[in-house]
Amino acid sequence: MSLIELTVPDIGGHENVDIIAVEIKAGDTVNVEDTLITLETDKATMDVPATAAGVVKEVRVQVGGKISEGGVIAVIEAAAAQEAAPQPVQAASEKNETAAAPAPQAAAFNGNADAEYDVVVLGGGPGGYSAAFAAADQGLKTAIIEQYATLGGVCLNVGCIPSKALLHNAAVIDEVKHLAANGIKYPAPEIDIDMLRGYKEKVIGKLTGGLAGMAKARKVDIIRGRGEFVSANHIQVALTESSQYEQASETGEHKTIAFKNAIIAVGSRVVNLPFIPQDPRIVDSTGALELRQVPEKMLIIGGGIIGLEMGTVYSTLGARLDVVEMMDGLMQGADRDLVKVWEKMNAHRFDNIMTETKTVAVEAKADGIYVTFEGKKAPAEPQRYDLVLVAAGRAPNGKLCGAEKAGVAVTERGFIEVDKQQRTNVPHIYAIGDVVGQPMLAHKAVHEGHVAAENCAGHKAFFDARVIPGVAYTDPEVAWVGVTEEIAKRDGIAITKSVFPWAASGRAIANGRDEGFTKLIFDAETGRVIGGGIVGTHAGDMIGEICLAIEMGCDAEDIGKTIHPHPTLGESIGMSAEVALGVCTDLPPQRKK
Ligand code: FAD
C-alpha cells in the first residue's frame, strides 16, 4: 500500500477552473475511472476521473474552489499495480469525437414493435420538438415521446416563457414607478395575483397549443408516455395521462417503438439540496413560477440567472430579498463591469447579498423557514424567511432514460457525450440540449436539434457555432457573448475593447434609462470582434447583432460603418465599434489611434 496524490490531468490548457462538484469524501473507496470532481469552464463541464484505485485519505478540494492542471484533488491509499496512466479529460459538453464515459453493451430486444419510425425523439422540449419538426420537414417519419401533457419542455412550460411573462409585468410596474420622476404619477398598483398567474398560464397555453398544431401539420406523432430504451433500436413507452406539466401518472399500458434513428432530448431537472426539508414555503423555480404567495422576506439560494430573474419578479410584487451564493459574485459568466451596473440599479431590492457564503442548514418552523449560513458574509444567527427559492442549478437526465441499454455512454453526472454531429457513441443515436452539457439554454438545444435532424436525413451537418450568447432578463438586462474580459485574462488571450456608455445615447436618455453600456471585445492581433457585452434595457434583444458579427468574422470597421437606425439602443453597438476606430462623434474627442 502506498499514498498517492490524485491530480488534475491535461484539461486543454484551462487554468483556475471552477470546481462545481466533489464526488468523494475521506474513507470512500474509488476505482480507476470513478469521477472525483467536476469542473466547469465557460465552454464545458468535465468530469475528472480517478487514475488509481484505493481508499480516500484526504480530499484537498471543495465545491466553489478553483484548480488547474497538476492540482492535487485527493490523497489515496492505493493498492500497487492499480495505477492507470493519466488520460486527458474529455469534456462532457465539448463535442469530442471520442466518448470519455465507458460505452456499455446494448441490450437485446426480440419482441414486436407497435410502430416504427425513421426518427424517434425522446423528449418534447425546445431541443426535441425542433429536432422532430426539422426531421419531418426532411420527409422523415417522425415521432416525439413526451411524458407530460404539452410540448415545449422546461422552457415553454416552467422556464424561459413563464418567467418572461412575469418579468414583463414586473418591468411595466417598475417602469410606471419611474414615470413619477417625469411628472406622471399613478397610484400604487393593485395586484391580483390569481389574474397574473392566469396571464402567465394563457401565454404558456398559446405557445404549447401552437406547437401541438405544428406537430399535427407536419404529421409528427406525439406519443404521451415515459420512454426508456430497451435496445439500440427500440424504446418502450409506459403511457401516461397528464393534464399539466411535471405531473403525469402511468396508465399501465405500454408501447414498443422501433426506430432507425433516435434523438435523445430528455433535458435536465432541478438539483435538490439534500439538507433542505419538504415544505410549501421552500420552492424550486417551478414552484416560484406558480406564484402562490408574495412573501415579505424571501431568500434566493444561488445567485445565477434563474434565481435573480425570479427574485426580480417577487421583489417588484413586494418581497424583500436576500441572496446567498458560494462564488465571489452574482451572475457568474458575465463580466463584472456589466454586473456592477445591474447591482447598483437593484441594490434597493436586497437586504443582504451573501457572496462566498453557503447555506448549511434549513429548518421549517411554524413562523418561517430558518436558514443557517457559513462563509464570508454569513450572519451569525440563523435568518427567518417566508419563502426560500432553491435555484442551485440543474442536473442532466441522461441516466433516467435507459440510454445505456441502447449502448449509449452516459457520464457519472448524467451527461451524454456527443460529437460535432450530435452523434453519441452509437452512430444512429443522437443527443441534444441540456443533456449534452452546458450552457443549458434553449437556443443551444434548438440549434443542436436541427443538426441532429439533418444528420438523420443523411446530410452531413455539424454544430460549429462559434459562440452561444447568455442573457439575464433582469432589469436592466445583462447580455454577453463570446470571449469576456474574464475569459481573456484567464486564458491569456490578447484583446482590445471598446465601450460606448449609454449616458451618450440619445435613445437611452429619452427612455430615462441611460445607466447601461455596450462593450465590444476584439482580438488584439486580427482586430476581429470575438466577444461583447451589453447591460441596459433590451440588452437581450440586441446581443444577436454581436453574435452575428462574431460568426461573420467582422472587425470594428464592418460594424461601425453599418448604418444603424437613430435613435435606437442598437445604435450603441455601432458606436462602440466607432469608439474602437477612434471616430465616434457622439463622445468627447478621443486620442487618435
Ligand atoms: P427540456 O426543456 O428539459 O425538455 C425535455 C423534455 O423531455 C421534458 O419535457 C421532459 O418531460 C421530457 N422527458 C424527459 N425524459 C423523458 C422520458 N424518459 N420519456 C418521455 N419524456 C421525457 N433558457 C434560455 O435559453 N432562455 C431563458 O430565458 C431560460 N429561462 C429559464 C428559466 C427557468 C426558470 C428555467 C428552469 C430554465 C430556463 N432556461 C432558459 C433553460 C431552458 O429551459 C433549457 O435550457 C431548455 O428547456 C432545454 O431544452 P431541452 O429540449 O434540452 O430539454
Determine whether the shortest distance from the Cβ of 126 to ligand 1 is under 6 A: yes
Q: Specify the pairing of strand 297-301 against strand 495-501.
A: unpaired
Q: How far is the CA of 2 from the centre of ligand 1 (A)?
A: 46
Q: Which residues are catalytic?
A: 566
Q: How far is the CA of 351 from the centre of ligand 1 (A)?
A: 32
Q: Find out whether 502 and 473 touch, Cβ atoms under 8 Å.
A: no
**CA dihedral (508, 511, 516, 520) positive or negative:** negative
Which ligand 1 atom is nearest residue 127's CA?
51
DSSP string covering 486-543: HHHHHHT--EEEEEEEGGG-HHHHHTT----EEEEEEETTT-BEEEEEEEETTHHHHH
Determine whether the shortest distance from the Cβ of 444 to ligand 1 is under 6 A: no
Determine whether the shortest distance from the Cβ of 132 to ligand 1 is under 6 A: no
Q: How far is the CA of 152 from the centre of ligand 1 (A)?
A: 8
- Closest C-alpha residue for ligand 1 atom 21: 146
- Closest C-alpha residue for ligand 1 atom 33: 159
Q: How far is the CA of 130 from the centre of ligand 1 (A)?
A: 12
Distance CA 302, CA 45 (A): 18
Q: How far is the CA of 518 from the centre of ligand 1 (A)?
A: 30
Determine whether the shortest distance from the Cβ of 433 to ligand 1 is under 6 A: yes
pLDDT of 57 reads 87
Determine whether the shortest distance from the Cβ of 237 to ligand 1 is under 6 A: no
Determine whether the shortest distance from the Cβ of 59 to ligand 1 is under 6 A: no
Which ligand 1 atom is nearest residue 126's CA?
51
For residue 125, the tally of other CB atoms under 10 A from its CB is: 31
Determine whether the shortest distance from the Cβ of 311 to ligand 1 is under 6 A: no
Q: Specify the pairing of strand 470-472 against strand 477-482.
A: antiparallel
Strand spans (E) along 8-78: 17-22, 29-30, 35-40, 45-49, 54-59, 66-67, 72-78
Determine whether the shortest distance from the Cβ of 265 to ligand 1 is under 6 A: yes
Which ligand 1 atom is nearest residue 155's CA?
43
Determine whether the shortest distance from the Cβ of 333 to ligand 1 is under 6 A: no
pLDDT of 31 reads 76
The residue among 536, 534, 532 whose CA lies nearest residue 476 is 536
- Closest C-alpha residue for ligand 1 atom 28: 160
Pocket test for ligand 1, best of 147, 151, 154 (most atoms within 8 A of CB): 154
CA distance readout (Å), 369 to 127, 209, 289, 321, 323: 37, 38, 19, 14, 15
pLDDT of 18 reads 82
Phi, psi angles (nearest 5°) of residue 24: -125, 160
Determine whether the shortest distance from the Cβ of 414 to ligand 1 is under 6 A: no
- Closest C-alpha residue for ligand 1 atom 40: 160
Determine whether the shortest distance from the Cβ of 313 to ligand 1 is under 6 A: no
CA angle in degrees (0–180, nearest 5) for 504-507-513: 80
pLDDT of 9 reads 80
- Closest C-alpha residue for ligand 1 atom 27: 160
Predicted ipTM?
Answer: 0.99
Determine whether the shortest distance from the Cβ of 162 to ligand 1 is under 6 A: no
For residue 457, the tally of other CB atoms under 10 A from its CB is: 17
Pocket test for ligand 1, best of 160, 168, 291 (most atoms within 8 A of CB): 160
Low pLDDT (below 70) residues in the chain? 1-2, 10, 12-13, 33, 41-45, 78-100, 591-593
C-alpha torsion 155→169→353→537, nearest 10? 90
Distance CA 269, CA 291 (A): 20
Q: Specify the pairing of strand 282-283 against strand 387-390.
A: parallel
Q: How far is the CA of 440 from the centre of ligand 1 (A)?
A: 8
Q: How far is the CA of 395 from the centre of ligand 1 (A)?
A: 11
pLDDT of 83 reads 33
Q: How far is the CA of 155 from the centre of ligand 1 (A)?
A: 5
pLDDT of 2 reads 66
Q: How far is the CA of 25 from the centre of ligand 1 (A)?
A: 32
Determine whether the shortest distance from the Cβ of 302 to ligand 1 is under 6 A: no
Pocket test for ligand 1, best of 147, 155, 163 (most atoms within 8 A of CB): 155
pLDDT of 93 reads 41
Determine whether the shortest distance from the Cβ of 283 to ligand 1 is under 6 A: no
HSE, side-chain direction, 13 A CA sphere, residue 427: 2
Q: How far is the CA of 146 from the centre of ligand 1 (A)?
A: 12
